[in-house]
Amino acid sequence: MRTEPAAAALWDGGWYRFARRHPSPNFGPRPAGAQVDLLVVHSISLPPGVYGGNEVMELFDNRLDWDAHPYFAQIRGLQVSAHFYIRRQGELWQFVDCDQRAWHAGRSHWRGRDECNDDSIGIELEGLEGGPFEPAQYETLASLCTALAHHYPIAYVAGHEHVAPGRKQDPGPGFDWAALQQSTGWPARVFPAQATGIRQD
């Protein structure tokens, strides 16, 4: 997809200029010829339901103190990342260059393809799986989706629960897919058929 000059000003390669950079070591090259056309929406909080700390950033750059909370024993040694992280107040962080492969979706399948990490961009929302998200997060997410669609041939948006059903449940029923569709103005075909509230017109 050719980037328009105005849209190009938003980007430094695969780094979005309006996000705070916090590079993660957890990434790799995308396969040759990968078409980055999918956005995968996730939710995360560490410990679950606790907001405002630095634990998610520490997880993504392999500095989390595994002994700081009993829950962390369940994820000890985990090496993961996402391209973006949107905090409760709408603050946007970026961990991986979008031209690179982040480690967010795991075993997954969407639009007839396996291994969604190969050709997707992962966006984490600070929140509890199944719980509600803040208006500021939707505002940042919609703006980010639009910027990504000007830089990459984005054709699909799905939740982690859709690309890895039965294994993952985030962002869950608390996520307002209709609000995202309304904010982006994108047609129903972009979103999962299972997403509630999506207008088909």
Average pLDDT estimate for 5-31 = 91
Q: What are phi and psi for residue 154, nearest 5 degrees?
A: -65, 125
Average pLDDT estimate for 91-113 = 97
Q: Is the pLDDT of residue 186 over 80?
A: yes
Site of tokens 């919609």: 142
Average pLDDT along the chain = 95
Q: Is the pLDDT of residue 201 over 50?
A: yes
Average pLDDT estimate for 119-128 = 98
Q: What percent of the chain has pLDDT over 90?
A: 91
Where do the domains of the chain lie? 5-189
Q: Is the pLDDT of residue 1 over 50?
A: no
CATH superfamily of the domain spanning 5-189: Peptidoglycan recognition protein-like (3.40.80.10)
Query: Residue 2's pLDDT is what?
Result: 41
User: Which amino acid type is present at position 194?
Assistant: Q
d(CA 73, CA 57): 17
Helix (H, G, I), strand (E, B) or coil at 112: coil
Q: Is the pLDDT of residue 5 over 90?
A: no
pLDDT 10s digits, 28-81? 999 999 999 999 999 999 999 999 999 999 999 999 999 999 999 999 999 999
Q: Is the pLDDT of residue 4 over 80?
A: no
- What amino acid positions are annotated as catalytic residues? 124
pLDDT 10s digits, 135-149? 999 999 999 999 999
Q: Is the pLDDT of residue 19 over 70?
A: yes
User: Please, which pLDDT band fits residue 88 given cuts at 50, 70 and 90?
Assistant: very high
d(CA 104, CA 28): 12
Q: Is the pLDDT of residue 172 over 90?
A: yes
Q: What percent of the chain has pLDDT over 70?
A: 96
d(CA 145, CA 147): 5
